[in-house]
Amino acid sequence: MRPRSIDGNRGHKKFFEIGLGHESLSNMMLVNHSLMLQHHYSLSELESLIPWEYRIYIELVAKFVREENERIEKQNRGKN
Could you read off the pLDDT of 2-58 as tens digits, one per residue?
Answer: 555 455 555 555 555 555 555 688 888 888 898 899 889 999 999 999 988 988 988
Host domain of residue 39: 10-79
Residue 5 belongs to a domain:
no
Q: Positive or negative, the Cα torsion across 22, 26, 28, 30?
A: negative
User: Quick check: pTM over 0.85?
Assistant: no
Phi, psi of 71 (to 5 degrees): -60, -45
Residue 4 belongs to a domain:
no
The total domain count for the chain is: 1
